[in-house]
Structure 1
């Protein structure tokens, strides 16, 4: 049992290392120009070893991006957890979710080169499970504010879905189109959102 656990741990550690490296290489060369040998060479592994963690290049790309997105999501959650005030928790979550890509150039490059990874309205979402969880987290934060009587919206679920769409648009403008005024645009958008959520006495 202990040996099996250790083996599983080693697999997860090596998998994380493979995904980190894949993220780096895909960001550097893009999906089309990257080959499995580029990633295995960067790690000093036989190329066959990568097939323990992914079926092919497309599968590895999807897993590497999902890995990056999961870290992005966890960073936003961790930021929200530094406060107990519902309004501040909401603000911290949204701010970190937006600013994270400044700290993670690999994901920023991948998104700029492949905007379909973060689709807007009515497009097929390759990361639906991760993005659905982000919407659920937003919904939970809004519901916290409603329960604390600091937010006043009729349906936290609908509000979360609308806000996530606005967030996707902000990411598109900021990190794919690079309009130059992205931070100001985001801050003003967040202020407008909070003004709409906060209960008026």
Structure 2
């Protein structure tokens, strides 16, 4: 009889364990949504817990503070993805211009079109009030992101596709349109609402402007006679 009782409990226990394992991810997702909707300072820990369907006490079993929760949100959705993105850089076959087109398009699909894009606006608007979090974002997102774009531009220069520009400054020609699109997506004042702004067309147009500005003229190519 005791054995039968234990066997009956196994599925319940397994379900509870699966639920326990899922909670950090659910809390991170709930926090991302609320931080983007309301801002970091205005979001209360109990709101995050309620949206995730757990108690406030349960939240603090996984995250010691709201600041730790935001760090987890940033790591899960941005900082932790740079190894994958750098691997894609290494594996890419084709011209650097095509690589840049691919990267900006994929960036929109994976980040810009999702709630994750709101993290940039969040850090721009509230980072000065939370310097430790701003430093974390700078270290874990901004610097690796700049480094990846720097690698792309350096690839084009080394292959003779791009002009030998100052790469440390040229990276912002790629970044600035992306930041604008983040802000346009999460702000009512960044764009003229009488003109429809198609995100993919915007990304493609801005990328072509950058590529044309960087590309060597035909007469300057190494094989030209």
TM-score, normalised to structure 2, is 0.63
Q: Residue 197 of structure 2 aligns with which residue? A: 181
Which residue does 2:183 correspond to in 1?
Answer: 172
Cα separation, 2, equivalents of 1:118 and 1:40: 23
Larger radius of gyration: 2
In structure 1, the residue matched to 2:168 is 157
Q: Give the equivalent residue in structure 2 for 1:131.
A: 142
CA RMSD of aligned residues (A): 3.7
Match of 1:54 in 2: 63
Measured in 1, the distance between the counterparts of 2:198 and 2:80 equals 22
| Residues 165-187 of structure 1: CA deviation (Å, up to 9, x unaligned) | 34323432354346242534433
The CA distance in 2 between the partners of 1:46 and 1:185, in whole Å, is: 43
Q: 1:77 touches 1:93 (CA, 8 Å); kept in 2?
A: no
CA distance in 1, matches of 2:161, 2:173: 19
Shift of 1:58: 3.9
Cα separation, partners in 2 of 1:59 and 1:93, compared to 1, 3 Å:
same
- Residue in structure 1 matched with residue 105 of structure 2 by the alignment: 95
How far, CA to CA, are the matches of 1:64 and 1:115 in structure 2? Answer: 16
Q: Distance in 1 between matches of 2:210 and 2:84?
A: 21
Gaps of 5+ in 1: 1-10
For 1:41, which of 24, 28, 50 is the aligned residue? 50
Q: Which residue of 2 aligns with 1:194?
A: 211
Structure ranking higher on relative contact order (CA contacts 8 Å, 6+ apart): 2
Say how many residue pairs are matched: 186
Distance 1:159 1:27, change over 3 A: closer
| Unaligned segments of structure 2, at least 5 residues | 1-19, 219-225
Alignment check: 8 A CA contact 1:111 1:118 kept = no
